[in-house]
Amino acid sequence: MPEYLETTVDKFIFRVATDRVYSPEGVWALAEGSRVRVGITDFLQQRNGDVAFVHMKPIGTKLAVGDEFAELETIKATVSFFAPVRGTVVEVNTDLELSPEVVNQEPYGKGWLAVMEATDLEADRAKLLDPQAYLSAMRSQAEEELKKQ
């Protein structure tokens, strides 16, 4: 079980798992040897609402940093997510087909999206944010969005 950093913006509480790194847009990457498990943050799942359908790039897809690897259709929006590292999709979370709500319920756990075989994990990881840095970036983003409402 990961530990979490927590922050409250307005009436919302957002958690950030401490055992992984983050793209600035809020895709997390958890190293597992040469492989990387990827998913979306608690902030992103709350911001986008209940997930209804998940479309993932198929196994074998080669991705550069910033390539779309998943599209989530929620009740509010269609949202694209981009690869945090270079590599090849080797596994997708097929459980989400029948139970997409798991992305909302356990964004850092059973709601993972895909596993990638990373091309150069060390180099790519160095460009990602640690939990504290992501927390700060996410906080500003959340405050910014609340101001718009």
**Residues lying near another protein in the complex (CB under 8 A):** 48, 52-53, 55, 73, 75-80, 97-98
Compute the distance between CA of residue 135 and CA of residue 140 in angstroms, rounded to an integer: 9
At closest approach, how far in Å is the CB of 77 from another protein?
4
Task: Kindly list the distances between the CA atom of residue 37 and the CA atoms of 4, 49, 131, 149, in Å, as whole numbers in the listed order.
Answer: 18, 22, 16, 33
- The residue among 102, 111, 87 whose CA lies nearest residue 36 is 87
At closest approach, how far in Å is the CB of 98 from another protein?
6
At closest approach, how far in Å is the CB of 75 from another protein?
5
- Smaller CB distance to another protein: residue 73 or 117? 73
- Smaller CB distance to another protein: residue 5 or 137? 137
- Smaller CB distance to another protein: residue 79 or 133? 79
What residues have CB less than 8 Å from 1, skipping those under 6 apart? none
